[in-house]
Amino acid sequence: MTRHLDHYDVYYADKLWNLLPAIYRSLDSDEFSGNGPLRELVNRIGAQAAILRRSIDRAWEDQSIETCDDWVIPYIGDLLATNLVSNLDSRAQRLDVAKTIYYRRRKGTLALLEELAFDVTGWDAKVVEFFRRMGRTRHGLDPQIGWVEKAGDGTDKLQQAEGLAGRLTRSQIGGTASLRNNYGSSKTGSAFDEFFHTPDFRPGRGKTGWHDIPHVGVFLWRLKSFDLPPTTPVAVTNPPTCAGWFTFDPTGRSISLFADASRKSEQYGNRWISPAEEQLPGPISQALYDANTKASPDAKAIELYPNSLTVLSTPVPQSDTDIVPANQVRVQSERGWFAYNSSPPQEVWVRYHYGFSSDIGAGPYDRRLRRKALPTPAPHMTFSGGGAALMPGSVPASAVPQTGTLTLVDSLTYTGADSIAATGVLTIRAGNRQRPLIRLPAGSGGTITEWTISGAPGSSLVLDGLFISGGDIVIRGSFTTITITCCTLDPGSASDMLDSSPPSGNFAISADGRELIPTRFWIEGSVETLTVERSIMGPIRTRGGGKIQTLDITDSILQALPESVSSPPQSPLSPPAEPNNVAIALDSGEVCLSRCTVLGGISVHRLRVSESILQGVAKVDDTQHGCVRFTAWTIGSILPEKYESVVISAQAILFTSTDFGNPGYCQLLATADTAILRGTNSAIQNTISEGSQDGSEMGAFARERNAIKERGLLIKFQEFMPIGLVPVIVHVT
């Protein structure tokens, strides 16, 4: 029997039992610690009474939109005649119903359109009336225009309030563009454009058809900005001429730093203010960073340094004195580098924001949400401080248990890990909202460092929230289950010079001169069930007789990079060599992929795929079992029965970027559907951008339901946008 926290079942069972005559209670059972048949009957009646009581309590709660069950939301919406969108998102539906009267009172205002976009989609938005950015002839009712005598005087404020002059460039309506302000000039063609344009009568779509009288631009920031706790930067030694610089990224990659999504809920409604660029979760351009650091405190909405990025003097900052002042460091925000104006200290720590599409992979988000609880057996151990704490010979590493829970409670870099032998249930995890990096040391003589985890028969392994880079993971022995959840096994970065002659290398080089090789997951032992959830992975392969009975992957990205430029010649009698860019290579067992993006080939025995993107040739031995449904697959693949799926060309361009570390990694392009190869039959073709079972996009980000959110937003705009105006959706990120 399931126990509830209200204990109603116990309360009503005891109450009924005490109402019975004492003679019947005494004759029910001879055992003091056991229940007789009468007591068991009373307990079951009490359980049913508890269910009835809970139902009555929920009936009271269901009368309010704040506390009602999800299934009640449409019924309350009908009472208000709300045009409730079917976006499969109870949060957005609940807000829609709760704020219906609020919306109607502010219908047609710019402030409401921005708030509506945030409530329906959860994305930050800025709405621009494009007719205000059109050059036009002035008439007699227009306010006075001309160069102001002093910035901030009455004429200056009036011109900015009426949209007759830009805040930064002071460009005036109908006049020529002023290019004196570097940051203001760089915003041309964005939501913060201060120049005036000639009309564009094309239909508004993407980057075209903006400047027309009925068009209203809805700029959406779809990427999330993740606030990373103190991490360990990497000193730049490659190239040597950049000595003294550091990368914010702990793997040594050059990444674009993101601004914090600092727009608060109280800045909507009666206190609405159109957001500044530094308040929105987008990449920080160098012009924006320079303008923000030089501006006076009253002239900027928020300080990018230290709110979005910070250089620290301690990994555990306690006060403002632990933050290195902005005038003591130089920052290249587009590259993700920084340097001290003087000699750097021996140890440096940083905090920064990075951008990504979803809460998958290792990251500083709440991993407890939207998943079942993971096993955390005793004994419990916590590691902190980074460095060699997990390396052989260190005191903490020598105490790592063979069964239990090991937690890394910070986001610093650990320079390697000792081999582990599990005899029971072993959980290795990051602290909640932390992203520790285990950066395996570089191998010698062309070898790759391996982190070996062995298991005794009946043992289980859980990896949760870890970021592992620099080498391979090797599984030996026997495991009943292996669970990898919310982890990033670095898929590596390909060299940009592979097309050069001669080739310069297979992989990109980090700031400290190491190759950014993929972290491969090798199975050399026996695994009954390998489960991967919400993770970013390199290749998963077997060798040395390794076996996996069931491989189950959901909401994840798998990528395999070519490991060699050319393959050695083979004899015509030799079996065909396996391609070196295979993301999953198993000679037995069953593979189940659900809402996954696979960059690379697949070579498995049996396969079931749902709502995924296979950007590589997939070859399945047993095509009589399994199914491929709501999936994009590459031409030339050998797959089982297909349902509502589409075929794409080899090396089809589908994503903003396939380079791990880029904010748009595996994010679908708006033109992704053009890669579909139309069949010769007249059957209805599915799409990639809206081809999942629930109408969202295929691939690892199907869980975000971006297509459904955007459709819901357009439906709500039809209800609350002024008559005659047409929304133009622009994806900023």
CA distances from 453 to 89, 361, 386, 524, 548 (A): 40, 21, 20, 10, 16
Q: Per-residue pLDDT tens for 614-666?
A: 999 999 999 999 999 999 999 999 999 999 999 998 888 999 999 999 999 99
**CA-based nearest residue to 452, from 419, 484, 495, 407:** 419
pLDDT at residue 583, rounded to an integer: 93
Q: What does the block give as tokens for 720? A: 């609350």
Please list, residue by residue across 244-275, b when 16 or more beta carbons sit within 10 angstroms of its beta carbon and e when fewer do: ebbbbbbbbbbbbbbbbbbbeeebbeeebeeb
User: For a pLDDT cut of 90, what percent of the chain falls above it?
Assistant: 44
Question: Rounded distance, CA 50 to CA 531, Å?
Answer: 37
Asked if 237 contacts 513 with a C-beta cutoff of 8 angstroms, the reply is yes
Cα–Cα distance measured from residue 433 to residue 359, given in angstroms and rounded to the nearest whole number: 11
Residue 255 forms part of a structural domain: yes
Residues 276 and 339 occupy one common structural domain: yes
Q: Are 254 and 337 in contact (CB under 8 A)?
A: yes
Residue 193 lies in a domain: no
Phi and psi for 397 in degrees, rounded to 5?
-65, -35
Bridge partners of residue 215, in order along the sequence: 726
Q: Which amino acid is at 1?
A: M
- Does 326 share its domain with 396? no
State pLDDT tens for residues 258-286: 999 888 777 787 788 888 889 999 999 99
**Residue 634 φ then ψ, to 5°:** -85, 140
Q: What is the DSSP string of 126-154?
A: EEEEGGGGB-----TTSPP-S--SSTTSH
- Could you tell me which residues come within 8 angstroms of residue 209 by beta carbon, excluding any fewer than 6 positions away? 200, 201, 202, 203, 215, 728
- The total of other beta-carbon atoms located within 10 Å of residue 629's CB is 17
Determine the pLDDT at residue 585. 93
Establish if 362 belongs to a structural domain: no
Between 8-19 and 37-61, two packed helices, what is the crossing angle to 10 degrees?
130
Q: Which residue has the higher pLDDT, 146 or 229?
A: 229
Report pLDDT digits (tens) over 534-568. Answer: 999 999 999 989 999 999 999 999 999 876 433 44
In this predicted structure, the answer to whether residue 29 has a pLDDT above a threshold of 70 is yes
Residues 6+ apart with CB under 8 A from 78: none
Each residue's pLDDT tens digit, 316-343: 887 777 899 988 999 999 999 999 988 8
Q: Is residue 413 a part of any domain in this protein?
A: yes
pLDDT at 567: 40
Beta pairing class for 632-634 and 628-629: unpaired
What pLDDT is stored for residue 656 in this prediction? 93
| pLDDT at residue 505 in the model | 64
Pairing mode, if any, of strands 488-489 and 526-533?
A: unpaired
User: Rounded CA gap, 506 and 494, in Å?
Assistant: 6
**Alpha-carbon Rg for the chain in angstroms:** 30
Q: With bands split at pLDDT 50, 70 and 90, how would you rate the model's confidence at 613?
A: very high
| Cα separation, 628 vs 608, whole angstroms | 6
Whether residues 330 and 392 fall in one domain: no
Is-cis flag, bond preceding 539, omega within 30?
A: no
Rounded Cα gap, residues 229 and 721, in angstroms: 41
Which whole number is the average pLDDT over 459-482?
95
Q: Are strands 540-542 and 526-533 parallel, antiparallel or unpaired?
A: unpaired
In whole angstroms, what is the distance from residue 248 CA to residue 234 CA? Answer: 7
Q: Is residue 461 part of a domain?
A: yes
**CA gap 677, 635 in Å, rounded:** 9
Identify the band that residue 572 occupies on the pLDDT scale cut at 50, 70 and 90. Answer: very low
Residues 495, 632, single domain; the answer is yes
Distance CA 180, CA 183 (A): 9
Query: Number of structural domains, the chain?
Result: 3
- Residue 433 Cα distances to 228, 229, 252, 406, angstroms: 8, 8, 22, 16
Q: Does the residue 329 lie in any domain?
A: yes
Judged against a pLDDT cut of 80, whether residue 508 lies above it is answered with yes
Is-contact 234 250, C-beta < 8 A?
yes
Residues 384 and 466 occupy one common structural domain: yes
Sign of CA dihedral 76, 78, 81, 85: positive
The bridge status of strand 245-247 relative to strand 337-340 is antiparallel
| Tens digit of each residue's pLDDT (9 = 90 or more) over 487-506 | 999 999 988 754 443 445 68
Residues 538 and 604 in one domain: yes
Q: Same domain, yes or no, for 594 and 446?
A: yes
Residue 437: the pLDDT is: 95
Cα–Cα distance list, 394 to 222, 412, 418, 429 (Å): 44, 17, 9, 19
Q: Is residue 719 part of a domain?
A: no
Residues sharing a CB contact under 8 Å with residue 195, sequence separation 6 or more, in sequence order: 133, 166, 169, 171, 177, 188
Closest CA to 338 of 363, 314, 364, 306: 306
Residues 508 and 560 in one domain: yes
351 and 481: one domain? no
pLDDT higher than threshold 60 for residue 698: yes
Q: What percent of the chain has pLDDT over 70?
A: 90
Residue 250 in any domain: the answer is yes
Confidence band of 519 (pLDDT split at 50, 70, 90): very high
Question: What is the pLDDT at residue 466?
Answer: 96
pLDDT at 575 over 80: no
> Is the domain of 342 the same as that of 471?
no
Q: Which of 388, 404, 413 is nearest to 396 (CA)?
A: 388
Last residue of a domain, one of 307, 322, 356: 356
CA dihedral of residues 303, 309, 312, 314 (deg, nearest 10):
120
Mean pLDDT for the stretch of residues 175-202: 83
* Over residues 720-732, mean pLDDT: 90
pLDDT of residue 71: 87
Residue with structure tokens 């029910």?
A: 28
Residue 553 shares a structural domain with residue 455: yes
DSSP E strand boundaries for 490-546: 521-523, 526-533, 536-537, 540-542
Domain that holds residue 411: 380-565+577-710
Least trusted range by pLDDT, from 16-25, 228-237, 262-271, 460-469: 262-271
The predicted model gives 688-695 an average pLDDT of: 91
Q: Do 340 and 387 belong to one domain? A: no
- Return the closest-CA partner of residue 424 out of 462, 451, 390, 398: 462
